[in-house]
């Protein structure tokens, strides 16, 4: 079952239809052959599927129509991210969206059409949701500096280098660009981007709220992922027989399964509230932190418990359940780990009544 | 006596029990630093037997391979407190895990239940590394319900003929011998018709197929038996008494799996990770709390290890040790992921700190609550057999 993260009847229906339309690209019950096929390869994504994603109008979903976007809100974006998460798609949907959100009205048409994949390079530490400085701009607009943990960087046609004071668009093949690529646990990769006097197009300063959207979308992807991992696991509990009965008959497992259902319900509820707060335009940082911390911890709990429920087969590469655990491990720290968000929540809460 | 042991270079096969613990620790530390093959330090994956062999042989020559075996059989006969010191020093140095099934299971089993001939043949070959063992218990439909196993052994003349399939056999690709539980009386009640066999893997009819684990490592395997003929004396104990033997062996297995080794290694990893991130101060309280839990677990371990040393057979209560060790290990591994941030997403080692591989530590901690009897099954055992609850 897909989580429809919207209240209000018209909106609810709109989001439901959007989720339904996503099934062609990101099916909740599809086989994971293509996901497996793309693992550990470079660029590690399917450009055909990327074109479909753009043809569906998913890119720039939150940008106003005047900027070439779909003019929708966080509820719609989060719902799609949930489907992409459940399908374990390797395509950097949230990252591309973040680049478009950072660029806003400057977003080039080729990026919105999916012809040019622009990925954001904004992080300079292993954890956090804070824009960094440290990009030097020389006369003539050439930039130097470093950004770390750029997901799926080998698939990028261009990078949006982001710092506290400005964004710069650079071509991935421009002189002075180098990538140090590391494989990630889910079969994707992450890169350090090193810039040495790279020709760049300077754009306006980034809107930090784009990062809040990315964190919420990631929380939603984690929700979709854990919902599907749990569904697969429930099936297994009903079919695997030991001691002459389905293992789901054992109360020890029943109780643990219920605890996971509670975690999933909590995540869905917090996320719905967070999405709503975001869409009202209020400061959503505290509830974003709650949603991301909960989703990260819950997804890790659900997927590792799912492996436990599967027994040894869950510890093999051939069982699909492991793909969910490994993706959860990659998404959990992205856009701030649970620990980071708990600290941020505390510091944003200080001094409040 | 103590004066003859050099702490800088302890003599091979010397009895180290008389040393004061602090001196013993110094001797172990010095020897490891001088002897351990540097290229094998803190490997991110469990080593295959061929990779681990250099270290296996170095320990063998020193007489330190089997710290828990009695000295008369070539072990060190170490007291539990010294055993713990050895574990601590090896984990802190980043010594690789050995292909240890022969050392932790077959040796103690044969010492307790084997014939003189079996002991005379096998113990030296385990201690020299000539024979690496693997364990053939689990089958596709007999995991937690091990007594449902269907692999059969039929007596034909002076031979046993084995047919069936085992699965999840750790290091099945590397081993020269496998110990197998097989059904010898299909009509008897589930646990009653099972026997325990020792089988060379190069016997015609044995086929091995490796399985990739979740960390993409071919650490375990499926083993198929197709009319595999072994001699009559390949049995351990009496015919149809295999379940009792296997249960006694589980005591050793659970003591070993309940040892603080893995938690020690993981906590060391976490400490180094915090240091690498420049956050040792931020996480001081977390690290301290886990350290105290680990020391408590060592106390728990010592109470069981002491009993084994006194010659007692461990009862079902040793399950508690295994439950607690896997829970602690997994808790530390969870904290490793919490602290690692994006470093925890990498498939390999951290590029500028190759002895750190937080994601792999986390994944490798997963199966400890599954193998050797899952934590759920261990809890069932304690509830029924220790607490007297239920059936
Ligand atoms: C890394 C690894 C290495 C291994 N190495 C070996 C080896 O060398 N040799 C060997 O013989 N085997 C080995 N095993 C197999 C191991 O012993 C089995 O995985 C274990 O016995 C569980 O069986 P199963 O995997 O079939 O899970 P299942 O028995 O199918 O269990 C699935 C889930 O149901 C739960 N469950 C089952 N019954 C009950 C119950 N009555 N009450 C509550 N919960 C229950 C389990 O706890 C588990 O969570 C290994 C396993 C792993 C993961």
Per-residue pLDDT at A352 exceeds 90: no
pLDDT digits over B41-84, tens only?
A: 999 999 999 999 999 999 999 999 999 899 999 999 999 889 99
Q: Summarize pLDDT for A278-287 with one digit per residue, the tens.
A: 999 999 999 9
**B352: Cβ contacts below 8 Å, ≥ 6 apart:** none
Digit-coded pLDDT (tens) for B18-50? 999 999 999 999 999 999 999 999 999 999 999
Residue A91 has pLDDT above 60, yes or no: yes
Indicate if the pLDDT at residue B3 is higher than 60. no
What whole-number distance in Å separates Cα of residue A261 and Cα of residue A265? Answer: 6
Identify the pLDDT of residue B2. 44
A204 touches chain B (CB under 8 A): no
| Nearest atom, ligand 1, residue A240 CA | 30
- B341–A125: do the CB atoms touch at under 8 Å? yes
- The CATH H-level superfamily of A209-349 is Butyryl-CoA Dehydrogenase, subunit A, domain 3 (1.20.140.10)
Q: What is the pLDDT of chain B when averaged over all its residues?
A: 95
CA distance linking residue A55 with residue B96, whole number of Å: 52
d(CA B102, CA B171): 12
- Length of chain A, in residues: 353
Spell out the domain ranges in chain B: 21-98, 133-241, 258-386
Mean pLDDT confidence for A8-32:
89
Q: What per-residue confidence (pLDDT) applies to A6?
A: 67
Q: Which of A190, A252, A315 sits opposite B379 (nearest CB)?
A: A252
Which of B344, B379, B380 is closest, CB to CB, to A329? B344
Task: Say how far apart CA B223 and CA B164 lie, in whole Å.
Answer: 9
Which of A41, A125, A150, A317 is the best residue to mutate to test the B interface, defined by the most B CB atoms within 10 Å of its own CB? A317
Q: What is the mean pLDDT of chain A?
A: 95
The CATH class, in words, for B21-98 is mainly alpha
Q: Secondary structure of chain B in the HEC alphabet?
A: CHHHCCCCCCCCCCCCCCCCHHHHHHHHHHHHHHHCCHHHCCCCCCCCHHHHHHHHHHHHHHCCCCCCCCHHHCCCCCCHHHHHHHHHHHHHHCCCCCCCHHHHHHHHHHHHHCCHHHHHHHHHHHHHCCCCEEEECCECCECCCHHHCCCEEEEECCEEEEEEEEEEEECCCCCCEEEEEEECCCCCCCCCCEEEEEEECCCCCEEEEEECECCCCCCEEEEEEEEEEEEHHHEECCCCCHHHHHHHHHHHHHHHHCCCHHHHHHHHHHHHHHHHCCCCCCCHHHHHHHHHHHHHHHHHHHHHHHHHHCCCCCCCCHHHHHHHHHHHHHHHHHHHHHHHHHHHHECCCECCECCCCHHHHHHHHHHHHCCCCCHHHHHHHHHHHHCCCCC
User: For residues B391, B240, B102 and B230, what is the CA-based torsion angle, rounded to 10 degrees?
Assistant: -150
Phi, psi torsion values for A345, nearest 5 degrees: -60, -45
For a mutational test of ligand 1's pocket, the pick from B49, B144, B146, B254, i.e. the residue with the most ligand atoms closer than 8 A to its C-beta, is B144
Q: Contact A315/B366, CB-based, under 8 Å?
A: yes
* Closest approach of A188 to chain B, Cα-based (Å): 9
Nearest atom, ligand 1, residue B373 CA: 21
CATH number of the domain at A2-94, please? 1.10.540
- With an 8 Å Cβ cutoff, are A322 and B337 in contact? no
- Asked if B241 is an active-site residue, the reply is no
Instruction: Identify which of A243, A330, A340 has the shortest CB distance to residue B145.
Output: A243
User: Are B213 and A333 inside 8 Å of each other by CB?
Assistant: no
Interface residue A324 vs chain B (CB under 8 A): no
The full set of domain ranges for chain A reads 2-94, 119-203, 209-349
Over residues B337-363, the mean pLDDT reads 96
CA of B143 to the centre of ligand 1 (A): 5
Nearest Cα to B203, choosing from B183, B176, B222, B180? B176
Percent of chain A with pLDDT over 90: 92
Model pLDDT, residue B312: 84
Domain B133-241 has CATH 2.40.110.10: yes
Strand pairing category for A158-162 and A167-171: antiparallel
Q: Nearest 5°: phi and psi at B332? A: -65, -40
Does the distance separating the beta carbons of B167 and A317 come in below 8 Å? no
Residue B146 alpha carbon to ligand 1 centre in Å:
9
Question: With an 8 Å Cβ cutoff, are A315 and B213 in contact?
Answer: yes
Q: Does the beta-carbon distance from B338 to A314 stay under 8 Å?
A: no
Return the SS3 of A37.
helix
Lowest mean per-residue pLDDT among A97-101, B108-112, B380-384:
B108-112
Question: Chain A contacts of B371, Cβ < 8 Å?
Answer: 312
- Checking if the pLDDT of A315 tops 60, the result is yes
In A, minimum Cα distance to B277 occurs at A126
Element (H, E) at A14: helix A9-22
The Cα A194–Cα A202 span in angstroms is 17
Superfamily of domain A119-203: Butyryl-CoA Dehydrogenase, subunit A, domain 2 (2.40.110.10)
- Residues in chain A with CB shorter than 8 Å from the CB of B145 are 242-244
- Read off the pLDDT of each residue in A262-290 and give the average, rounded to a whole number: 96
Query: Region B295-313: what's the mean pLDDT?
Result: 90
Fold of B258-386: Butyryl-CoA Dehydrogenase, subunit A; domain 3 (1.20.140)
As for ligand 1, residues whose beta carbon falls within 6 Å of it are A 240, 242-243, 247, 250, 252-253, 308-309, 311-312, 315; B 134-138, 143-144, 168-170, 220, 367, 370-371, 374, 376-377, 380
Which one has a higher pLDDT value, B200 or A13?
B200
A2-94 and A119-203 have identical folds: no
Q: How far is the CA of A48 from the centre of ligand 1 (A)?
A: 41
Question: Token match 């596709």: residue?
Answer: B140
Q: Is the pLDDT of residue B332 over 70?
A: yes
Fill in the DSSP letter of residue A348: H
The answer to whether residue A245 neighbours chain B at the CB level (below 8 Å) is: no
Euclidean distance between the first and final Cα of chain B, in Å?
Answer: 54
CA-proximal residue: ligand 1, atom 19 (nearest): A312
pTM of this prediction? 0.96
pLDDT at A89: 97
Active-site residue, selected from the candidate residues B91, B139, B253, B264 = B253
Query: Three-state DSSP class for A266?
Result: helix
CB within 8 Å: B141 and A125: no
Retrieve residue B386's tokens: 């220790």
Interface test with A, best of B45, B149, B214 (most A CBs within 10 A): B214
Count of CB pairs separated by less than 8 Å, A with B: 115
pLDDT in tens, A152-202: 999 999 999 999 999 999 999 999 999 999 999 999 999 999 999 999 999
Model pLDDT, residue B5: 77
H-run or E-run covering A203: strand A201-203
B1 pLDDT more than 60: no
**What residues contact A69, with CB distance under 8 A and at least 6 apart?**
A60, A61, A62, A63, A100, A107, A112
β-strand pairing of A189-199 with A158-162: unpaired
What distance in Å separates the CA atoms of residue B284 and residue B270, rounded to the nearest whole number? 11
Query: Given pLDDT bands bounded at 50, 70 and 90, which one contains residue A222?
Result: very high
A123 at B interface, C-beta within 8 A: yes
């Amino acid at each position: 079952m897909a989580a429809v993260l919207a209240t209000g009847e018209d909106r609810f229906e709109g989001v439901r239809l959007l989720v339904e339309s996503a099934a062609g690209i990101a099916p909740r019950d599809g086989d994971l052959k293509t996901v497996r096929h793309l693992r550990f390869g470079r660029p590690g994504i399917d450009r055909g599927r990327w074109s479909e994603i753009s043809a569906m109008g998913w890119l720039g979903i939150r940008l106003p129509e005047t900027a070439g976007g779909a003019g929708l809100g966080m509820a719609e974006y989060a719902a799609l991210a949930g489907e992409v998460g459940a399908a374990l798609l390797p395509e950097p949907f949230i990252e591309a969206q973040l680049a478009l959100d950072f660029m806003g009205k400057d977003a080039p048409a080729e990026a919105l059409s999916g012809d040019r994949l622009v990925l954001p390079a904004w992080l300079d530490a292993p954890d956090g949701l804070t824009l960094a400085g440290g990009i030097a701009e020389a006369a003539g607009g050439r930039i130097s500096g470093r950004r770390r943990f750029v997901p799926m960087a080998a698939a990028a046609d261009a990078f949006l280098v982001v710092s506290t004071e400005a964004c710069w668009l650079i071509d991935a093949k421009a002189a002075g660009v180098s990538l140090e690529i590391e494989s990630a646990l889910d079969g994707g990769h992450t890169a350090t981007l090193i810039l040495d006097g790279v020709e760049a197009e300077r754009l306006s300063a980034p809107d930090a709220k784009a990062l809040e959207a990315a964190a919420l979308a990631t929380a939603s992807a984690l929700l979709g992922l854990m919902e599907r991992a749990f569904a697969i696991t429930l099936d297994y509990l009903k079919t695997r027989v030991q001691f002459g009965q389905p293992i789901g008959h054992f109360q020890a497992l029943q109780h643990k399964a219920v605890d996971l259902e509670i975690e999933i319900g909590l995540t869905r509820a917090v996320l719905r509230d967070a999405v709503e707060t975001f869409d009202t335009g209020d400061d959503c940082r505290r509830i974003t932190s709650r949603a991301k911390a909960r989703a990260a911890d819950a997804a890790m709990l659900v997927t590792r418990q799912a492996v436990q429920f599967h027994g040894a087969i869950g510890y093999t590469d051939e069982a699909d359940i492991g793909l969910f655990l490994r993706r959860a491990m990659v998404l959990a720290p992205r856009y701030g780990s649970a620990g980071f968000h708990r600290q941020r929540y505390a510091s944003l809460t200080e001094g409040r009544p | 006596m103590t004066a003859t042991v050099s702490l800088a270079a302890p003599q091979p096969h010397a009895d180290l029990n008389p040393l004061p613990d602090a001196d013993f620790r110094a001797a172990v530390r010095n020897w490891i630093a001088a002897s351990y093959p540097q290229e094998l330090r803190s490997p991110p994956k469990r080593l295959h037997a061929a990779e681990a062999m250099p270290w296996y042989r170095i320990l063998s020559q020193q007489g330190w391979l089997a710290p828990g075996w009695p000295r008369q059989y070539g072990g060190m006969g170490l007291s539990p407190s010294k055993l713990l010191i050895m574990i601590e020093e090896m984990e802190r140095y980043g010594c690789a895990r050995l292909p240890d099934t022969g050392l932790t299971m077959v040796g103690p089993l044969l010492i307790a239940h084997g014939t003189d001939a079996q002991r005379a043949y096998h113990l030296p070959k385990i201690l020299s590394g000539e024979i690496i063992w693997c364990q053939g218990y689990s089958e596709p439909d007999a995991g937690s319900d091990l007594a449902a196993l269907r692999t059969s052994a039929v007596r034909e003349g002076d031979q046993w003929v084995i047919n069936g399939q085992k699965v999840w056999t750790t290091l099945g690709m590397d081993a020269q011998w496998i110990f197998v539980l097989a059904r010898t009386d299909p009509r008897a009640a589930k646990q009653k018709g099972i026997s325990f066999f020792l089988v060379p893997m190069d016997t015609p009819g044995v086929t091995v197929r490796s399985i990739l684990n979740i960390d993409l490592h071919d650490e375990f395997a499926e083993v198929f038996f197709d009319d595999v003929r072994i001699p009559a004396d390949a049995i351990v104990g009496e015919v149809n008494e295999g379940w009792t033997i296997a249960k006694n062996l589980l005591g050793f297995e659970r003591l070993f799996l309940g040892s603080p080794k893995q938690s020690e290694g993981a906590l060391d990893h976490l400490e180094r990770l915090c240091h690498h991130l420049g956050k040792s101060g931020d996480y001081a309280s977390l690290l301290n709390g886990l350290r105290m839990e680990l020391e408590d677990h060592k106390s728990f371990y010592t109470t069981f290890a002491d009993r084994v040393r006194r010659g007692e057979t461990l009862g079902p209560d040793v399950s508690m040790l295994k439950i607690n060790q896997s829970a602690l290990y997994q808790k530390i591994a969870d904290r490793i992921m919490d602290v690692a941030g994006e470093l925890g997403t990498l498939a390999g080692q951290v590029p500028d700190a190759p002895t750190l591989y937080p994601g792999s530590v986390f994944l490798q901690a997963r199966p400890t609550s599954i193998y050797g009897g899952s934590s759920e099954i261990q809890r069932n055992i304690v509830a029924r057999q220790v607490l007297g609850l239920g059936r």
